[in-house]
Amino acid sequence: MELVMSKGLGFNPSKTLNEIKINMAFFEWYKKCFKEKGIGYYDSFKNGSSQTDIEVVKFKTILTHYWEGEVDEAEKKPQKEGAPFRTGWLGAGTNFRRMIEPLDIAEYYNKGLKDYINQGRPKHYKQLEQWLKETEKPASNLSQLKKQNVASSLTEDSCFWAHVEEARISCKLLSSKESSTGEKELSKHNLIHEFENYVLSLMKNHEVSPEIFLPQSSFMLWWKEYEEIIRKGIMGASYYSPLTDLMKNRSYQNYATGDLEIP
């Protein structure tokens, strides 16, 4: 698929946004392609397992340049003037953030870095997310709609994979004989009180893509590591939680069809 190039990417004409939307179609294809291979586009890109990844970097750079410029321009405008701009463009910006930020997260952790959310997250993602929060309105039928469309949806939290990577780091610390008692206790807290509850909440609200359950995904690799930690009794004797229960029972297989009920 050929990338649509245009001049004046930073000037936000409607024509340019339409071209950017066309370029986003490449990532829809990329996502679908690796879903069918059982790995997901996040892990394919992270592993560098495809020749297509060279094209992905090029496409991602162009899209990132565009939205960095758009965010900068919007921030310069007074609130009244800027609000209609954000309302009209926020859907495309949100789709960009949810599709592309996972690729930035993959690059970040491939460098051996940690704490992407606090230490590495670019400003344009933060601002696009903040604008979405400011404009979102609660809807009584929203949960049911998400449930019906969950199979084809993007994960709403574009930082999801950063949470997964941090959970895998916690697993490594728990499994290592070189980790201090303090490191192990903090890792337990992060896994039980933060990550488990975070994932369960996303699933309950149908806010995470079922692609996280693909056999070769980083999330499923985390689960294999975590299951072994639990088996060894590192989390305590007879450790149980709602998330580990549905993972062990493979109830998550019903998530994509909307048939998984979480109390």
- Residues 100-143: tens digit of each pLDDT: 999 999 999 999 999 999 999 999 999 999 999 988 766 555 66
Q: Is 238 left (phi over 0), alpha (psi -120 to 50) or beta?
A: left
Domain boundary among 104, 137, 170: 137
Q: How far is the CA of 227 from the CAs of 12, 44, 171, 241, in angstroms?
A: 48, 24, 10, 12
pLDDT of residue 74: 86
pLDDT band for position 209 (cuts 50, 70, 90): very high
Give the Cα separation of 207 and 202 in Å (integer): 5
Between 191 and 5, name the one with better pLDDT: 191
Give the Cα separation of 233 and 5 in Å (integer): 55
Domain boundary among 90, 105, 137: 137
pLDDT of residue 3: 37
Q: Which domain holds residue 179?
A: 160-254
pLDDT digits over 15-44, tens only?
A: 477 788 888 999 999 999 999 888 999 999
- Answer whether residue 256 shows pLDDT above 80: yes
Structural domain count, the chain: 2
Q: Are residues 23 and 111 in the same domain?
A: yes
Are the beta carbons of 205 and 142 closer than 8 angstroms? no
Between 1 and 184, name the one with better pLDDT: 184
Q: Are residues 18 and 76 in the same domain?
A: yes
Are the beta carbons of 214 and 35 closer than 8 angstroms? yes
Q: Are residues 93 and 127 in the same domain?
A: yes
| Cα–chain center distance at 183 | 26
- Answer whether residue 160 shows pLDDT above 90: yes
* Maximal CA-CA distance, the chain: 62
- Assigned domain for 61 exists: yes
- Assigned domain for 147 exists: no
| Cα–chain center distance at 92 | 16
3-class state of residue 172 by DSSP = helix
Q: Which amino acid is at 55?
A: E
Question: Angle 219-21-151 (CA atoms, 0-180°, nearest 5)?
Answer: 35
For the chain, give the mean pLDDT.
87
pLDDT band for position 86 (cuts 50, 70, 90): low
Q: Are residues 132 and 166 in the same domain?
A: no
Q: Are residues 131 and 45 in the same domain?
A: yes
Domain boundary among 79, 103, 137: 137
